Structure 1
Amino acid sequence: MHQAPYGSWPSPIDAALVATRSGAPEYLGAIGDELWWTAPRPEEGGRRALMRLAPDAGGAVSVLPAPWNVRSRVHEYGGQPWAGLARNGGGPLIVFADFADQRLHAVEPDTAEGPGAAQPRPLTPLSAVGGGLRWCDPVIRGGDVWCVLEEFTGERPGELRRLLAAVPLDGTAADDRSAVTELTDDRHRFVTGPRISPDGTRAAWLAWDHPRMPWDGTELMIAGITSGPGGRHELTGARTLIGGPGESVAQVEWAPDGTLLAVTDRTGWWNLHRVDPDTGDAVGLCPRDEEFADALWRVGSRWFAPLDDGRVAVLHGRGARRLGVLDPATGELADAAGPWAEWSGPLAVRGTRVAAIAGGPDRGREIVCLDTVTGRCRTVAEEHRDAVDPAYYPEPVARTVAGPGGREVHAYVYPPRHPEVTGPDGAAPPLVVRAHGGPTGRTAMLLDLEIAHLTSRGFAVADVDYGGSTGYGRAYRERLAGQWGVVDVEDCAAVARALVAENAADPDRIAISGGSAGGWTAAASLASPATAGLYACAALTYPVIDLATWDENGTHDFEARYLDGLIGPRDEAADLYRERSPAARADRISVPFVLLQGLDDPICPPAQAEALLAAVAGRGVPHAYLTFPGEGHGFRRAETIRRAIEAELGLYLTVFGIERPDAPALDLALRPVDDHSNGAGGRPG
C-alpha cells in the first residue's frame, strides 16, 4: 500500500465499462413456470430486451431481436409494458408495448424456429394526434387485453385522457380505434391497470387526480364485470372503496379467498391491509413503522404478491427494502436470507417460489428466487459478475446526521477505496454529494459502478435521502411540502458538513451532482445563501431550473401539478416560484458547473437547462453544456453514458486541480456552441 493524492489513483473502472454495465433488470413476471423480464441493452441504442427463463433452459434468452424495445411511454416514465398467458399448446402468448410506435403487439415465440424468430403483430392502431395512443399495465383476459389507455386529444402535453380499455387479441383494433372497448370513462386523470377477482366478477384499480401525486392521495376503485352487447365485457357500478386526498393506496391485489390486499399509508406508513371488497373495512396485517411500498412513479409497480396458501410475499423496510413472507393469520414475517441488501419488485410468484430483483454493495441487481418451503435463496438470472477486482468497490456506510433543528437526515456514504493506494496522512478526500431524482424517491445501497468510478480514484461520495424521500414514512416524505429548494438543499449540506467535521471530506473540494429533481437540488444549492461557499462546482443532468415554465405546457402531464405540493398553488405562491428558481438567482452562482441534457427530453426539456445558461451569460461563470440527440429523460445509450461520466469527472479534475494521464480536464471555456453532433459544447459568456 502506498500513498498518493486523492483523486489521482489509478483505476480499472473507466467510463466505457460503466456505460456497458449501466441499467438493471425490470418488470419481472411469471408465466407458468417461466420467468420473464426486460433487460437493458446500452450498446444496442439503449433498448429494453424482453428476456425469458424456462425451468429446463440452460440460461435466459432474448425473445425479440433489435430494434424491438419493450417499453411504454405512459406518463413518460412508463409502466408495466408486457403481459403473458401460459397455454396448453403452442407455448405462451405475449403482449407488449414497443417504444418506437407505442402500439401493443402480440407475439407467440414458440411458433417459430429459433429464439427471436417469431414475428410480432400489432393489436392497436396509430394516432397522429399529439403523443398518440399509449398502453401499459396489461392483463390478458379471454379474447382481450385489459390495460391502461393514455390517449392524446391535442398537441399540448395535457391534452389527453386516461381510462381502462379492452383491446381484442384478434387484431381487429390494429387499424380501427372503434374496436377498442372503453371499460371506464375518463372521470379520473390517472388510473392503474385492473386487477380481476379470482371468480372473474369484479375488478379493482387505483385512481387519482390533479393536483395530487399518487403518494399524496389515491382512491381504490372497485366495479362489477358484466357482459355487454356482442358479448363484450363491461365494468359497472364503479365506486371508491378506500382512499382519498390524504391517503395513498400504492397497490391493490386480490387474495385467493376473494378479499382485497392493499398497501395504504393511513397509519403514516405504507402498510399492508386486508380490505373487505363490499364494505371497505380495512385491517392491518403487519403494523410496523416500515414501508411495504414506495412511490408509484410507474404504473403497475408491485411490492407484494399473494401466495396460493394465503401467505403474502412482501418487500418491506425502513430505508433499505428486504424480501419477506408474511403470514396474515399470525402477523409473523420471515425474511429471506442471503447477501442481498436491497430488494425490488415486481415480485413473480410460481407456486411456493417467489422471484425478485436484488443486489447489494458488492453486487449489481440480480434475479433471485426464494423457495418459501425450504427458505433457500439463489440467483437464477442476470447473475452479477465482477468486471474488476472487488477490492476496487467502495464499502458504503448508512449514516444519519443532524439537519437544521436537529431533524434526522439519512444518507449512504461511500469512502474512497483502492487495494494498493491510500491518501496522504492527515488529508481528506474530495467529496461528491449526490441528490437523487424525484424528489419523492430514494437512493439504495447497491453496487453502482458510476460511484465506484469515483471512489476507486480517491473521491468520497455521499448519496443523500434528504427530507421528502421515501422509505421513512409519510411525515419524512412531507417535510418537502412547500419546501422544495429549501429542505433538500439544507439536508444535502448537512451531510457534507458532517463529513467535513469528521475529516472525511476536504472542505475546499466539495461538489454536488444530481439528475432531474436532483439536478434542481444541485442547482438550487449553488444559488442558496444557506450553502454559500460550500460547493466548489456542480454537475447538473437534465435538471429542473425555471419553475415558472415547468408547468402544464413545459413538462408532461403526470407532473404538471407536482409543484402545487412542492412549492404551492401557482396563483398563491407566484413569488416563491420566482424566488426559488436558480434561473432567478443566477447572480449568486459563482462556481463552475457542467450541464448534461438529452435533446428529446419531454420531462425536463432543453429549455430548462438553457434558462440557466441564459441567466449566467455574461457573469463570468465557467461552465460547459453537453447535449445528446436522441436521448430523453435518463440516458440509455452507451456512448451517451460514457461521455457524460467523462465530462463529470473532467469537471472535478479541472476544479479540484487534479491531474490524471487517463482523463482530460473538462473544457470550461466560455465559447459558442458550434457542434451538437458530438454532444459537446460551451455557451457564450
Structure 2
Amino acid sequence: MSTPAPYGAWPSPIDARLTAAHDGRPESVAHLGDDLWWTAPRPAEGGRRTLVRRRPDGTEESVLPAPWNVRSRVVEYGGQPWAGAPGPDGPLVVFVHFADQRLYAYEPDRPGAEPRPLTPLSGVGGGLRWVDPVVHAATGEVWCVLEEFIGEGPTDVRRVPAAVPLDGSAAENRDAVRELDTDRHRFVTGPKLSPDGQRAVWIAWDHPRMPWDGTELKIAEVTASGPFTGVRTLIGGPEESVCQAEWAPDGSLIAATDRSGWWNLHRVDPATGEAKPLCPREEEFGGPLWRIGSRWFAPMENGLIAVVHGRGSTRLGILDPDAGEICDAAGPWTTWTACLDVRGSRVTGVAAGPLSAAEIVELDTVTGRARAVAARHTDAVDPAYLPHPEERVFTGPGGREIHAVVFPPRHPERHGPEGELPPYVVRAHGGPTGQATADLSLDIAYLTSRGIGVVAVNYGGSTGYGRAYRNRLRGQWGLVDVEDCAAVAAALAAEGTADPGRLAVRGGSAGGWTAAASLAGTDVYACATVIYPVLDLAGWATGGTHDMESQYLESLIGPFAEVPERYAERSPTERADRISAPFLLLQGLDDPICPPEQSGRLLERMAGRGVPHAYLAFEGEGHGFRRADTMIAAMEAELALYAKVFGFAAEVPELEFRN
C-alpha cells in the first residue's frame, strides 16, 4: 500500500554505489571465429575498459587483466579500439592501450603470450595515437587511423590512414609505418578494402566543419607498397554528411548520407559517384560521427543489410535493398548503438530498453528470433522502482517542436502529499549533437525513485530528427538550447506535472554549457548542476580545447573574427553577475576537452557575490567520469544540492557552499 511522503525524501534501494557499479555499457562488438568479443567497463578498476571473450558454450572471460585499458584517444573521443583475425595458434587481437596509446598485438591462446607493441612512442605533444584498426593478415598489416602530434599545442596534429606491420618492426621505428594517403584532410576514418582488394574507401573532413555538417567519401586504388593512388571524392561536401561507408560482399558500395535531409542508405557507384537511395524515409540510418569506426549498418552475405534506424528511438531491422523494405526485430529494446556485427545469418549489436540496461543482443535472421546473448541485463533493483519514460513533443518559441523524454517519479510504496507537485530536473545532453533516449538509466532512477522527476530535452541541435532539426543550433548555441529547455520546464509546470518553484537544470559538457547559460539567461530554475562544462567561449575558441572541436564554435556561434561580441555576450563567465541561483560545479582535472581553467574562471567571478555554490574537482578524471568513487561523490553531491534547495531530507553528505 502506498503512503504519502515528501517528494525527494522517498526511501530508495538505488544508492550511488549501486548506480556507479552499473555504469557504462558494452561496446565494439565483433566475432572472431565462433567467439564473440567486446569491450566492457570496469568502474571499480580505475574506470578502465577490458576486452571480454564469450565462447560458444556461453562462458565469458576478461582477456586482458588490469592495468590493460582498451581505449583510444584519437580526436579525444576515440572510437573502435581493437580488431582481430583468426590465426594458426588461435585468435590474433590488436588493440590500443589507453595509457600510452600504442597499438599492441596479443595471441591469448598461445601459452605464455603477452601483448607486444606494434607502434612506437613519441615525445612530441600528445604523441602517436591509433584508432579503427582492421587486421589484414594476408599482407601482415593493420590498417587504421594514425593521429600524430607535430608540436606541443593541442591543434598541432595531423591524421592519416596508415598501415602498421604486424611483425613489430614499427615498435621502435616510426618510418616502418606505411602512410596510405598524403595527408590531404584534417580528419579521417579507417580505410575499408574492397572484396577484390583493388580499392579502398574512407571518410574525410576538414576544419571548420564537424562531421555532421559535411564530409567526403574518398576512394582510391590500392598499391602493394606506398600510398594509395588516384584518390578522389565520390560523394559528400560542405553541406552533406556521409557518416559510414561499407563494401558489401558482392563488391557494391553502401553509404549513409544525409543528402535528403536524413541519414539514409545509398548504393554508390565507385566509378561515377552516382548514389541511389535504398530505402528513402524521414528517419535516421546513421548518426553523428563523434567516435571513429561507428557502425549503424552492416551488409550481409545474402545481400540484405542490417540497419539501426528510427526517428528518436531506434530499432534493429533487416533491409532488403532491392525491394526497399525493412523487417524489424521484435523485442523490448528501444535504443540500439552504432556497433553492429554480422556473421552469416546472425546480427549482433548493443541495445537497451526502458527496463533493461545495454546488453549484447543477437538476431537470427532465419528464425526472426532476437535474444540477449552476452553482458545480459539483470535487475539490480525491483523494477517497481524504475520510472516509465514518456517520449513527448512540446511546443517552443515560434511554434517549433521540441522532443523530450519525461521520467516521472515512481515508487511502489510512496506517493507525494496531497496538493504537492514534485520537483523536476531538466537534463541537457552533451554534444550538443547528442540525443536523450528512453532506455534505463540508473542515475535517472536514483532521482525518480526518491520522488524527483526528470525530463531529458532533445533541444534544437540534437540528432535523431533530421538535418533541419540539427541545424537549428547554427549560430544559436546558448539561445535555442536554453529556450527549448526552459519551454519544456514551463510546459510541465503549466500542466501541473512539475512544481514551478522547484525546477533544476543539469548537464555535462555541452549540456553543462546549457545549464550554466540557463542560470545566466533565465529565471526558470531554482538551482543547477554543471558538469565539466564549456563556460568561456573566447577561451575555448582560441586554443582552449582539443583539435576536433577547436573550430566547432564557428558554426555554433559564428566566426570569431566576425562576431567576437557574441562570444562575450553568451559566455557564463562573462555573465556571472546575472547568476543568482545556487549551483554545483563538477570538474575532472585531466579534461583536455573542457579544461578545469574554464571552471576556475567562473569560480573567480562568483567569489564574494553571495550566491551559494559548491565545487568538486576530481584528480585523474577526464571528460566523462569513469571511476566508481568519482561517480558516487558526484551523484551524492547532486542529490545534496536538490535537498538543500528544494527542502527535503537526504541521507548524503551535506554540501559545503561557497558564497
| Partner of residue 346 from structure 1, selected from 319, 327, 339 | 339
Q: 1:161 aligned to 2:158?
A: yes
Give the structure 1 partner of residue 12 of structure 2.
11
Distance 1:146 1:552 in 2: 34
Distance 1:373 1:538 in 2: 50
User: Are the aligned partners of 2:182 and 2:227 in contact in 1 as well (CA < 8 Å)?
Assistant: no
| Partner of residue 529 from structure 2, selected from 539, 543, 552 | 539
Residues 391-427 of structure 1 show CA distances to partners (whole Å, capped at 9, x for unaligned) of: 0001110010000011000000000000000011221
CA shift for structure 1 position 233: 5.4
Q: 1:146 aligned to 2:143?
A: yes
User: Are the aligned partners of 2:475 and 2:558 in contact in 1 as well (CA < 8 Å)?
Assistant: yes
User: Are the aligned partners of 1:315 and 1:324 in contact in 2 as well (CA < 8 Å)?
Assistant: yes
Give the structure 1 partner of residue 208 of structure 2.
211
User: Are the aligned partners of 2:179 and 2:226 in contact in 1 as well (CA < 8 Å)?
Assistant: no
Give the structure 2 partner of residue 682 of structure 1.
none
Give the structure 2 partner of residue 392 of structure 1.
385
Q: 1:666 aligned to 2:655?
A: yes
Q: 1:36 aligned to 2:34?
A: no
CA shift for structure 1 position 339: 1.0
Give the structure 2 partner of residue 189 of structure 1.
186
Q: 1:450 aligned to 2:447?
A: no
Amino acid at match of 1:107: Y
Distance 2:199 2:33 in 1: 23
Give the structure 2 partner of residue 327 of structure 1.
320
Give aligned pairs, total: 656
| Partner of residue 403 from structure 1, selected from 396, 400, 404 | 396
SS in structure 1 at match of 2:288: coil
CA shift for structure 1 position 441: 1.2
Give the structure 2 partner of residue 413 of structure 1.
406
Amino acid at match of 2:251: G
Distance 1:36 1:58 in 2: 12
CA shift for structure 1 position 612: 1.1
Give the structure 2 partner of residue 106 of structure 1.
105
Distance 2:563 2:634 in 1: 35
Q: 1:609 aligned to 2:602?
A: no
**What does residue range 582-597 of structure 1 map to in structure 2 within 5 Å?**
582-597=572-587
Mark the runs of 5 or more structure 1 residues left unpaired by the alignment: 671-684
**What does residue range 507-518 of structure 1 map to in structure 2 within 5 Å?**
507-518=500-511
**What does residue range 433-444 of structure 1 map to in structure 2 within 5 Å?**
433-444=426-437
SS in structure 2 at match of 1:245: coil
Give the structure 1 partner of residue 294 of structure 2.
301
Give the structure 2 partner of residue 316 of structure 1.
309
Give the structure 2 partner of residue 135 of structure 1.
130
Distance 2:77 2:59 in 1: 30
User: Are the aligned partners of 1:595 and 1:626 in contact in 2 as well (CA < 8 Å)?
Assistant: yes
SS in structure 2 at match of 1:558: coil
Q: 1:82 aligned to 2:82?
A: yes
Which 4+ stretches in 1 moved above 3 angstroms?
Answer: none
Q: 1:123 aligned to 2:118?
A: yes
Residues 324-379 of structure 1 show CA distances to partners (whole Å, capped at 9, x for unaligned) of: 00000101100000111111121010100000101111010000000011100111
CA shift for structure 1 position 8: 0.8
User: Are the aligned partners of 1:35 and 1:348 in contact in 2 as well (CA < 8 Å)?
Assistant: no
Across the aligned residues of Structure 1 and Structure 2, the Cα RMSD in angstroms comes to: 0.9
SS in structure 1 at match of 2:145: strand
Amino acid at match of 2:115: P
Distance 1:370 1:321 in 2: 15
Distance 2:519 2:561 in 1: 27
CA shift for structure 1 position 234: 3.5
Give the structure 2 partner of residue 550 of structure 1.
540
CA shift for structure 1 position 61: 1.1
Q: 1:179 aligned to 2:169?
A: no
Amino acid at match of 1:6: Y
Q: 1:628 aligned to 2:629?
A: no
Amino acid at match of 1:300: G
Give the structure 2 partner of residue 21 of structure 1.
22
SS in structure 2 at match of 1:646: helix
Distance 2:243 2:304 in 1: 19
Amino acid at match of 1:640: T
SS in structure 2 at match of 1:548: helix
CA shift for structure 1 position 665: 3.1
| Partner of residue 638 from structure 1, selected from 622, 628, 634 | 628
**What does residue range 446-485 of structure 1 map to in structure 2 within 5 Å?**
446-485=439-478
Give the structure 1 partner of residue 220 of structure 2.
223
Residues 570-606 of structure 1 show CA distances to partners (whole Å, capped at 9, x for unaligned) of: 1011000000101111111001101100000000000
CA shift for structure 1 position 223: 0.3
Q: 1:71 aligned to 2:75?
A: no
Distance 1:462 1:541 in 2: 17
Amino acid at match of 1:289: E
Distance 1:577 1:147 in 2: 37
Q: TM-score, normalized by length of structure 2?
A: 0.99
SS in structure 1 at match of 2:538: coil
CA shift for structure 1 position 282: 0.3
Distance 1:463 1:173 in 2: 47
SS in structure 2 at match of 1:480: coil
User: Are the aligned partners of 1:28 and 1:345 in contact in 2 as well (CA < 8 Å)?
Assistant: no
CA shift for structure 1 position 33: 2.5
Give the structure 1 partner of residue 279 of structure 2.
286
Amino acid at match of 2:363: L
Distance 1:271 1:75 in 2: 25
SS in structure 1 at match of 2:270: coil
Residues 592-631 of structure 1 show CA distances to partners (whole Å, capped at 9, x for unaligned) of: 1011000000000001111211121221111011000000
Amino acid at match of 1:653: A
User: Are the aligned partners of 2:502 and 2:646 in contact in 1 as well (CA < 8 Å)?
Assistant: yes
Give the structure 2 partner of residue 423 of structure 1.
416
SS in structure 2 at match of 1:226: coil
CA shift for structure 1 position 58: 3.1
| Partner of residue 240 from structure 1, selected from 227, 233, 243 | 233
Distance 1:174 1:265 in 2: 40
Distance 1:591 1:286 in 2: 49
User: Are the aligned partners of 1:513 and 1:519 in contact in 2 as well (CA < 8 Å)?
Assistant: yes
Distance 1:396 1:118 in 2: 48
CA shift for structure 1 position 552: 4.8
SS in structure 1 at match of 2:311: coil
Residues 272-329 of structure 1 show CA distances to partners (whole Å, capped at 9, x for unaligned) of: 0000001000000000000001100011011000000000000000001100000001
Residues 622-650 of structure 1 show CA distances to partners (whole Å, capped at 9, x for unaligned) of: 10110000000000000000000000000
Residues 491-539 of structure 1 show CA distances to partners (whole Å, capped at 9, x for unaligned) of: 00111011101111111111000000000000000011xx22x100000
SS in structure 1 at match of 2:485: helix
Distance 2:113 2:567 in 1: 52
SS in structure 2 at match of 1:110: coil
CA shift for structure 1 position 34: 2.1
Query: Percent of aligned pairs with the same residue?
Result: 67
| Partner of residue 576 from structure 1, selected from 540, 562, 566 | 566
Amino acid at match of 1:576: R
SS in structure 1 at match of 2:366: coil
User: Are the aligned partners of 2:637 and 2:652 in contact in 1 as well (CA < 8 Å)?
Assistant: no
User: Are the aligned partners of 1:594 and 1:625 in contact in 2 as well (CA < 8 Å)?
Assistant: yes
Distance 2:531 2:227 in 1: 45
